[in-house]
Chains A and B, each alone.
Chain A
């Protein structure tokens, strides 16, 4: 039985557990139908041309985790941003871990999607928001059909959340191979502020495929800073689809740090519905061996007087492969737009590959759109400069790679996170930089 067939038959079993009056039952039925009709994406689709799921889908993934596994805090402490206080929503093998989580708070909801889907008091919100930003794509639909757990966050008007929220998904290896479908719903009301750090972390060498979907609604003047840390083991693959719907004067940023995993696909979609929105998409990818990271971005400019900034840096070693597919879609009404997109790549090895493809579709006539893409090696002149100061070749390369990735780090607003990522980069590059970064 193929994974697709397995998923479809599992859905029938899963449906028995669902309550009939669940507001999203019909949605799930429709979603599984969409998945059944379209199946897993293949390289024949333009946006999947350089990323093949074929090898991955041959794995015999379990669709549900059968047993609950215990995780000790001391074993996973290092994956948290432990040097500052944060809210924590933690899942182990797809199930909420109240033991590892820390969500005490007043006047806002930082809780679980399962609660939001089942409790009456959340019904109006679920009906208004759930699956309203997500696109009807096959993998997202698959997630919608199976979505039962994830973070549910609602920040009311004028609330500035005083500390970052960490959403962490651990996978223990309780199954030989497991497919997970986490689903996050985040609503940031008018003039509210939020910072979120999301991480998927495998704790064993057993295979895991995570098909994650996150919907974010940024209301008028809302501020959202979202950080994705992708530094998983080489047995873990991630397909992350994030949809952000922005109302007027909202500012949303997503930083994606991709340093690990087997296959990682980021579908990052911004929709600007109100005037004077700003969307910021930044990424640093540093991978080696046979790792694969694909950034597929869309910024859909619907309203006038908006901005968007995309800046993705990639460093590829060994046989690593990268994809950057960045689309800016400008509707006729979206006048006076300022959209910027940049993708710079360094190939360290002759066998490493990057496919970089900017796509601009512009239907407005009074806009400023610019894009640039570079693929190269480390600058020889810069190498000579550093070495002439007594810095060895290896350290000089590390410093230059660090410098190359650095301007993306500049805009990380949580200092402890910035420091953490700096250290991850230093470790990834494999040297001590000789000073505290």
Chain B
């Protein structure tokens, strides 16, 4: 589904991603871990198309087509979804209206009519229930005055509504207490299928107890330096990153 080849990206002439290679197949969950400043969030933003970053070389192939020159909305239309670490507040636009706009804009890009109101409502209800979201919450202004946990839950609600092919969860566990973490993880697991794939970016192994990855990759200084299975996450949790740094040096 996703094949990243020798991806280099920089911001203001500072290289951040220094040659990433990664292949993700449908139905897989990949975790990307790494210390602060290793380039994890940049990696997520570059796949989603943030224009602050310049892709200096390499390819991002989604189902065989290079998406690196597409606008963020075009990538979204092709099924890329980024759950933000810091979702933005949009006063005056309710969660419901926002998601309606997002879905209908995506449908429009495919030449489809707006989703009928009844169908939309049913879907909103179903996905809100999945994430244990109160109805009242849906009429509030998007992210405005939301707690950290509410923001993250709202991100996953949007993901559930958009039904992406490739979901990238950027530090979705930060700011969540254990109950919220379970709800969010449960939501993500319910959305998993053989048709889609998930990239989980995290500092901690904690989230990976609930969203179990098929592969774990360690990002260090803009490169994937080690890949393994979920046992690698436990080892990182226990020993930190220094041993990998040593290994890389050696």
- Which residues from chain A sit less than 8 Å from chain B, CB to CB? 379-382, 384-393, 395-396, 399-400, 402-403, 405-407, 409-410, 433-435
Contact = CB atoms under 8 A, between A and B. Distances in A.
B72 A400 contact: no
Interface of B: 45, 48-52, 71-73, 75-77, 80-82, 84, 86-88, 90-93, 97-98, 100-106, 109, 158, 162
A393 B70 CA distance: 13
Contacts of A386: 88, 90
A393 B74 CA distance: 10
Given A385-B87, A391-B105, A407-B92, A435 B76 contact: no
Nearest to B80: A388
B41 to A, nearest CB: 12
Contact of B73 (A379, A393, A406, A433): A393
Interface centre among B72, B81, B109 (most CB of A within 10 A): B72
Contacts of A399: 90, 93, 101
20 contacts: A380-B52, A381-B86, A385-B84, A387-B49, A387-B72, A387-B73, A388-B72, A388-B73, A388-B81, A388-B82, A388-B84, A389-B73, A390-B162, A391-B105, A392-B105, A393-B71, A402-B92, A403-B90, A406-B93, A435-B100
B246 to A, nearest CB: 36
Contacts of A402: 92-93
Contacts of B76: 387-390
Contacts of B52: 380, 384
A339 to B, nearest CB: 23
Contacts of B97: 435
B93 A388 contact: no
Nearest to B90: A403
B105 A382 contact: no
Nearest to A409: B92
A409 B97 CA distance: 17
Contacts of A381: 86, 88
A396 B162 CA distance: 17
User: Which secondary structure dominates chain A's binding surface?
Assistant: helix
A391 to B, nearest CB: 5
Contact of B48 (A388, A396, A435): A388
B90 A390 contact: no
A429 to B, nearest CB: 13
A390 B88 contact: no
Nearest to B78: A390
Contacts of B71: 387, 393
B124 to A, nearest CB: 13
A400 B102 contact: no
Nearest to B114: A434
Contacts of B90: 382, 386, 399-400, 403
Nearest to A387: B72
B31 to A, nearest CB: 21
Contacts of B86: 381
B95 to A, nearest CB: 12
Given A387-B72, A390-B73, A406 B100 contact: no
A390 B82 CA distance: 11
Top-9 shortest CB links A-B: A406-B92, A390-B76, A387-B72, A390-B106, A389-B102, A385-B88, A434-B101, A382-B88, A435-B97
B48 A433 contact: no
B109 A390 contact: yes
A391 B102 contact: yes
B104 to A, nearest CB: 6
A433 B101 contact: yes
Contacts of B91: 403, 406-407
A147 to B, nearest CB: 40
A402 B98 CA distance: 13
Contacts of B88: 379, 381-382, 385-386
Given A384-B50, A387-B73, A393-B73, A434 B105 contact: yes
A435 B84 CA distance: 24
Interface centre among A379, A382, A391 (most CB of B within 10 A): A391
Contacts of B93: 399, 402-403, 406
B12 to A, nearest CB: 14
Contacts of A393: 71, 73
Nearest to A433: B101
Given A388-B84, A389-B73, A390-B102, 20 more contacts: A380-B52, A381-B86, A381-B88, A382-B90, A384-B50, A384-B51, A385-B84, A389-B158, A390-B73, A390-B103, A391-B73, A391-B102, A395-B105, A399-B90, A399-B93, A400-B90, A403-B92, A403-B93, A406-B93, A435-B97
Nearest to B168: A388
B51 to A, nearest CB: 8
A409 B92 CA distance: 9
Contacts of B92: 402-403, 405-407, 409-410
Nearest to A396: B73
Contacts of B109: 390
Contacts of B158: 389
Given A379-B88, A402-B92, A402-B93, A391 B82 contact: no
A407 to B, nearest CB: 6
A293 to B, nearest CB: 22
Contacts of B51: 384
Interface centre among A384, A390, A409, A410 (most CB of B within 10 A): A390
A268 B164 CA distance: 52
Contacts of A382: 88, 90
A379 B104 CA distance: 24
Contacts of A387: 49, 71-73, 76
Given A380-B52, A385-B84, A392 B73 contact: yes
